[in-house]
Amino acid sequence: MKRERFGAACRYALLVLLLAALLPGAKTWTPWALFAFVLFLSPVSLLLSLPAAKHISASLSLPTSAAKEKSASGVLILTNNSLFPAVKLRITISILNDLTGEEETLSLSAGVGAKQTFRQELELKSAHCGRLYVHIKSAAVFDYFGVFSKKLRLEAAARLTVLPELFPCDVSISPAFVTADEESVSERGDDMTELFALREYQSGDPIRRIHWKLSSKVGSLLVKEPGRNISRSLLVFWDKRHGCSPMRMDALAEAACSLAQSLSEQGLSYDLAWSDGEELQLRSIPDGNALLAAIGAMVTRAGHPDSPLPDTKGYGRVIRFCAALPDTVGEENIFHILCCDAQAASGKNMLVFSPENRKEQLERLEI
- pLDDT tens-digit map of 236-283: 999 999 889 999 999 999 999 999 999 999 888 999 999 999 999 999
Cα–Cα distance measured from residue 255 to residue 258, given in angstroms and rounded to the nearest whole number: 5
- Is this model's pTM higher than 0.85 or not? no
Cα–Cα distance measured from residue 173 to residue 264, given in angstroms and rounded to the nearest whole number: 12
Cα–Cα distance measured from residue 188 to residue 209, given in angstroms and rounded to the nearest whole number: 14
At 190, the pLDDT band (50, 70, 90 cuts) reads low
Output the pLDDT for position 263: 93
**Do β-strands 157-163 and 65-67 pair in parallel, antiparallel, or remain unpaired?**
parallel
Centroid of chain to Cα 27: 68
Q: Are residues 88 and 100 in the same domain?
A: yes
Question: Does residue 322 lie in a domain region?
Answer: yes
Q: Are residues 238 and 271 in the same domain?
A: yes
For residue 164, CA distances in Å to 23, 217, 292 come to 66, 60, 11
Output the pLDDT for position 183: 42
CB atoms within 10 A of CB 90: 19
Q: Are residues 325 and 222 in the same domain?
A: no
Q: Are residues 147 and 80 in the same domain?
A: yes
Q: In what order do the strands lie in the sheet with 56-61?
A: 56-61, 72-80, 117-124
Q: Are residues 84 and 36 in the same domain?
A: no
Q: Are residues 154 and 208 in the same domain?
A: no
Centroid of chain to Cα 85: 38
Cα–Cα distance measured from residue 267 to residue 304, given in angstroms and rounded to the nearest whole number: 33
Question: Does residue 12 lie in a domain region?
Answer: yes
Q: Are residues 15 and 73 in the same domain?
A: no
Q: What is the CATH number of the domain that holds 141?
A: 2.60.40.10
Q: Are residues 243 and 265 in the same domain?
A: yes
Question: Does residue 72 lie in a domain region?
Answer: yes
Q: Are residues 146 and 77 in the same domain?
A: yes
Q: Are residues 71 and 146 in the same domain?
A: yes
Cα–Cα distance measured from residue 104 to residue 133, given in angstroms and rounded to the nearest whole number: 11
Question: Does residue 204 lie in a domain region?
Answer: yes
Maximum C-alpha span of the chain: 130
Question: Does residue 85 lie in a domain region?
Answer: yes
User: In the beta sheet, which residues pair with residue 347?
Assistant: 350
Q: Are residues 191 and 92 in the same domain?
A: no
Indicate the average pLDDT of the chain. 83
Cα–Cα distance measured from residue 95 to residue 160, given in angstroms and rounded to the nearest whole number: 10
pLDDT per position as a tens digit, 97-122: 999 999 999 999 888 888 999 999 99
Question: Does residue 51 lie in a domain region?
Answer: no
Question: Does residue 102 lie in a domain region?
Answer: yes
Cα–Cα distance measured from residue 243 to residue 240, given in angstroms and rounded to the nearest whole number: 7
Which value, to the nearest 10 degrees, does the dihedral of the CA atoms of residues 235, 238, 241, 243 take?
Answer: 160
At 202, the pLDDT band (50, 70, 90 cuts) reads confident
Which value, to the nearest 10 degrees, does the dihedral of the CA atoms of residues 293, 296, 300, 302 take?
Answer: 90
More confident residue, 80 or 179: 80
Calculate mean pLDDT across residues 318-338.
80
Centroid of chain to Cα 69: 16
Query: For the chain, how many residues are written?
Result: 367
pLDDT per position as a tens digit, 210-236: 888 788 878 888 888 776 544 458 999
pLDDT per position as a tens digit, 126-165: 999 999 999 999 998 876 666 667 788 899 999 999 999 9
Q: Are 246 and 132 in contact (CB under 8 A)?
A: no
Overall number of domains in the chain? 4
State the helix-helix crossing angle for 246-265 and 288-298, rounded to 10 degrees: 170
User: By residue range, what is the domain housing residue 76?
Assistant: 56-163
Question: Does residue 313 lie in a domain region?
Answer: yes
More confident residue, 31 or 292: 292
Q: Are residues 261 and 355 in the same domain?
A: yes
Q: What is the CATH number of the domain that holds 253?
A: 3.40.50
At 367, the pLDDT band (50, 70, 90 cuts) reads confident
